[in-house]
Structure 1
Amino acid sequence: MKPFLDENFLLHSKPAQELYHNYAKEQPIIDYHNHLIPEQVAHDINFENLTQIWLYGDHYKWRAMRTNGVDERYVTGHASDLEKFQKWAETVPYTMRNPLYHWTHLELQRYFNIHELLTPKSAEKIYNQCSELLQTQDYSVRSLLRKMNVEAICTTDDPLDSLEHHQAFAKENDTFIMLPAFRPDKAMACDNLETFNAYINKLEQITNQSITTLNDFLSALKSRHDYFAAHGCSVSDHGLEHIYAEDYTEAEITAIFGKIRNNQPLALSERLKFKSALLIYFAEWDHEKGWVQQYHLGALRNNNTRMLSLLGPDTGWDSIGDFTQAQALSKFLNKLDSTNKLAKTIIYNLNPADNELIAAMIGNFNDGSVAGKVQFGSAWWFLDQKDGMTKQINTLSNMGLLSRLVGMLTDSRSFLSFPRHEYFRRLLCNLFAEDIVNGELPHDLEWIGKIIQDICYSNAKNYFNFKR
């Protein structure tokens, strides 16, 4: 019987251990998609206690606590931070075989050197010990990122964001860089005209220009795209149920935008055409600047309307959707490729039933101009666990070139989530080692080790080419 979470955790053979410890472990981290709060990095804050850094905003843990019968008062409610942590500690023993069990103890080890299991009995001791450390300079948020050997992080930012915190941080020349990512989801969210027009009105104020026509709107958005580029941005991101790829004419989109500004209801076909057009405009701007564009596909959001009305979005009521993806994705990528305006592209898939679909699709648009130009992104959200990562890695291996994958990312709001990179790296090394042990790959650790290093770090370094 192997010990739990020792130095060879998830590494089930000697080649796996050699690959991880000699090639993967020490590679820097390029976390090119996360939801960290730039202000907290810019001000290098210290969190007051373990609950605030570990439980606030973490809907993975919230869902587990609710499933375990924990009242909402201890999840997002008004209970004290210690009470919330104790309820989490009561839940942890019941998370066995959920990735949260691994992540919880991995994070306690890597950040706090705590090897004790989190249980109701150990909860208060662990809470006090970690909270005390979190008050020290060695546990400020920047120190936590340096501890994990982070080289770059990309936050997720609305086009209206001032980027003031990115600008302030950039002046300090820290050991890592923090760059914005252009996330224009709200700039095409025409389903609710009241909310959308309020957004356009804010865009007017920020750009100091009147927006009454489609050209006005595009000009204002393009100025924000340019503004992001001027402040180091070279990545865009979109969170979509599926790609929008309806046929449209410029005249139709012009007329639709006129209806939007006049608060005239849009038919479903008009909303789909408008979103399709906006996606093309954004993608063309990305290509023009040499950006990387990312598409997160397949989430069915806000399923529980009762809890949504009480707590708002991003509080743990989302799930995997079963949307039709292939035809629209093909049409969208082909439209850009046919005019030579397809930027480097990463497609993340949330429904494992579509893994082969995505892995096959990217091969249609890898044209030899850039290694791994169109990527099947690492397992995302509900799938960034052992089984989901393994399936994504195996599918890409079977239908593409795993060796050109740009690796893992946290997609997290927590500064304690960076051991997810380690988790991915251990799984990756173990999968290669299984093939070596089974005689399906040569025992060439030097070459396979290089591939491991590329996937963990070098591919992302070359693909994104982030600049200070």
Structure 2
Amino acid sequence: MISTNSQVNFLSEDFLLQNSFAKTLYHDYAKNLPIIDYHNHLSPSEVNSNRQFSNMSQIWLAGDHYKWRAMRTLGISEKYITGNATDSEKFKKWAQTVPYTMRNPLYHWTHLELKRYFGIEEILNESNAAEVYLHCNELLQKPEYATQGLLGQMKVEVICSTDDPIDSLHDHVNFSRKKTGLSMYPAFRPDKAYAIENPDAYLSYLEKLGEAAGISIQNYEDLLAALENRIGYFHERGCRLSDHGLEQLYFFEKDEFNLQDLFELIRFKKKLEPKEIQYFKFKTLQELCKMYHSKGWVQQFHLGALRNTNTRKLSELGPDTGFDSIGDFDQAKALAGFLNSLDSKDQLAKTVLYNLNPRDNEVFATMIGNFNDGSTKGKIQFGSGWWYLDQKDGMEAQMNVLSNMGLISCFIGMLTDSRSFLSFPRHEYFRRILCNLFGKDVENGELPWDEKWLGKIITDICYHNAKNYFDFNSKNITV
């Protein structure tokens, strides 16, 4: 085991906990709760097969564009990031990068993950990279370090993957038959079903969607029928939530275009005008949301990312490789109109809204109150700090705004939104930050010293609210 470092104040048992009440809330109420991770990008196949990773680069660096961006910023060649360098060379370059990530959340996450999974308390750097790499690789060969074991170490109770409508979900079904103490459910992510900006790519996708649904998609009604078919297919296999990644939601008060005419233009590979594209997305999303409501699902909207900004790197490396940023899209009016178009007919499902631009925190926090109707506790949620905002300042800002303009006591808490099986200490990070916020208010005399009641609120936010909000039940899988 790697020896303990002398920096006893870093990542101590009271990390981020600045007073005695915060420490009590964390250690006695939050620390040992199970994890419900209702949105991530883990591979269902790797969970079901209980994959054993051969080394740290494969499990820790591959696919992690947070780390990739930091390495590029430091001037490290792409060869050592997504290129053809060996896994050990890539790990060494990441270790070289880590000391330069101070005050970036990567510094905390890196050392939390090394400590919680591998018992390493040293600060990772270039000089100890080889020793750390060898130590971790040896542990990764043990049965408890396969994917299911890693999730078990963090007391993960539920994970929800992110799945395209055309996915077979065979891994979810097969895994549901195993007795592991972990539940894995799909989440319906239909972004490609209305991504009509590129007609060639869209038509190719429609062929796959039609094949999956057993429907030849020749018109717009066929498209909706295929999507409804797949929603039914997902529902039978335990799915109870959807997710959408969009710059913004769209809303049109009047029917401005004929959807079948737009569909025909796409079939003839004609590029649509921006307003036509927005109208198509609005109407299709509206129909999808009605379907979700009829099934009792939760719908999630991740809004505000400006994606694939570097066209040179997009052509070299493809999407999701670290060249996306916060966007500055107008959100409020169309978001209100879209939600109202569903609520006015009582077809608005439980909804989680994630904001990427911190300037819009107050917009989102007040928007959820417009559509909470008393039917369900926290029916409309302001989701946890997302992507560039899932760090200490971003999470504190989201929770402070939610506290000021809504009820943080109804909040469904944290998720990883990660592709890494080593990312689950992010829940610990969130829980420590949450407990410290409440602890500071108690110390300042802004909240009463009521350990039992505040402890209940903490456990609700960390676990019980999410457990009650989502209709997760292994009996839901009927095939």
Do both share a fold (TM > 0.5)?
yes
Q: CA deviation at 1:264?
A: 2.7
Letter in 2 for 1:287: H
Is 2:412 the partner of 1:437?
A: no
Q: CA deviation at 1:136?
A: 1.1
CA contact (8 A) 2:197 2:271 kept: no
Matched ranges for 1:247-262 at <5 A: 247=253, 249=255, 252-262=258-268
Q: CA deviation at 1:248?
A: 5.1
From 5, 16, 29, give the equivalent of 2:35: 29
From 141, 144, 159, give the equivalent of 2:150: 144
Alpha carbons of structure 1 residues 230 and 248: separation in structure 2 relative to 1, 3 Å: farther
From 152, 160, 168, give the equivalent of 1:154: 160
From 425, 428, 433, give the equivalent of 1:419: 425
CA contact (8 A) 2:293 2:349 kept: yes
Q: Alignment identity in percent?
A: 59
User: 1 CA distance for matches of 2:210 and 2:440?
Assistant: 57
CA contact (8 A) 2:257 2:279 kept: no
Letter in 2 for 1:329: L
The match for 1:195 is 201
Q: CA deviation at 1:251?
A: 6.9
Is 2:27 the partner of 1:60?
A: no
Q: CA deviation at 1:218?
A: 0.8
Letter in 1 for 2:74: N
From 213, 223, 232, give the equivalent of 1:226: 232
Q: What do residues 357-389 of structure 1 show as CA deviations (whole Å, max 9, x unaligned)? A: 100111100111111000000000000000000
User: 2 CA distance for matches of 1:46 and 1:250?
Assistant: 53
Q: CA deviation at 1:250?
A: 9.4
The match for 2:477 is none
From 344, 350, 357, give the equivalent of 1:344: 350
SS in 1 for 2:316: helix
Q: CA deviation at 1:465?
A: 2.5
SS in 1 for 2:366: helix
SS in 1 for 2:238: coil
User: 2 CA distance for matches of 1:248 and 1:75?
Assistant: 49
Is 2:49 the partner of 1:43?
A: yes
User: 1 CA distance for matches of 2:88 and 2:302?
Assistant: 35
User: 1 CA distance for matches of 2:398 and 2:63?
Assistant: 27
SS in 2 for 1:364: helix
User: 1 CA distance for matches of 2:257 and 2:175?
Assistant: 43
Letter in 2 for 1:38: P
Matched ranges for 1:127-142 at <5 A: 127-142=133-148
SS in 1 for 2:82: coil
User: 1 CA distance for matches of 2:162 and 2:256?
Assistant: 30
Q: CA deviation at 1:194?
A: 0.3
Matched ranges for 1:262-277 at <5 A: 262-277=268-283
User: 1 CA distance for matches of 2:23 and 2:8?
Assistant: 14
Is 2:131 the partner of 1:102?
A: no
Letter in 2 for 1:452: I
Letter in 2 for 1:161: D
User: 2 CA distance for matches of 1:443 and 1:10?
Assistant: 20
Which residues of structure 1 form unaligned runs of 5+? none
SS in 1 for 2:452: helix
CA contact (8 A) 1:248 1:273 kept: no
CA contact (8 A) 2:248 2:330 kept: yes
Is 2:335 the partner of 1:329?
A: yes
Letter in 2 for 1:211: I
The match for 2:119 is 113
User: 1 CA distance for matches of 2:217 and 2:395?
Assistant: 45
Which range moves more in the overlay, 102-111 or 197-206?
197-206
Q: CA deviation at 1:104?
A: 0.4
CA contact (8 A) 1:244 1:279 kept: no
CA contact (8 A) 1:371 1:404 kept: yes
Is 2:199 the partner of 1:183?
A: no
Which range moves more in the overlay, 209-218 or 131-140?
209-218
Q: CA deviation at 1:210?
A: 1.5
From 341, 364, 381, give the equivalent of 1:375: 381
User: 1 CA distance for matches of 2:216 and 2:284?
Assistant: 19
SS in 2 for 1:175: coil
Q: Which runs of 4+ in 1 moved over 6 A?
A: none
SS in 1 for 2:258: helix
Q: CA RMSD in A?
A: 1.1
Is 2:461 the partner of 1:467?
A: no
Is 2:322 the partner of 1:316?
A: yes
Number of residue pairs the alignment of both structures matches: 468
Letter in 2 for 1:396: L
Q: CA deviation at 1:125?
A: 0.4
Matched ranges for 1:350-369 at <5 A: 350-369=356-375
Q: CA deviation at 1:217?
A: 1.2
Q: What do residues 87-136 of structure 1 show as CA deviations (whole Å, max 9, x unaligned)? A: 00000000000000000000001101111110111110000000111011
User: 1 CA distance for matches of 2:8 and 2:48?
Assistant: 42
User: 2 CA distance for matches of 1:98 and 1:186?
Assistant: 33
Alpha carbons of structure 1 residues 248 and 213: separation in structure 2 relative to 1, 3 Å: farther
The match for 1:290 is 296
Alpha carbons of structure 1 residues 250 and 172: separation in structure 2 relative to 1, 3 Å: farther
From 71, 77, 84, give the equivalent of 2:77: 71
Which residues of structure 2 form unaligned runs of 5+? 1-6, 475-479
User: 1 CA distance for matches of 2:376 and 2:297?
Assistant: 13
Q: CA deviation at 1:402?
A: 0.3
Letter in 2 for 1:440: E
User: 2 CA distance for matches of 1:92 and 1:69?
Assistant: 13
CA contact (8 A) 2:95 2:124 kept: yes
User: 2 CA distance for matches of 1:268 and 1:250?
Assistant: 13
The match for 2:464 is 458
Is 2:26 the partner of 1:20?
A: yes
Q: CA deviation at 1:259?
A: 1.8
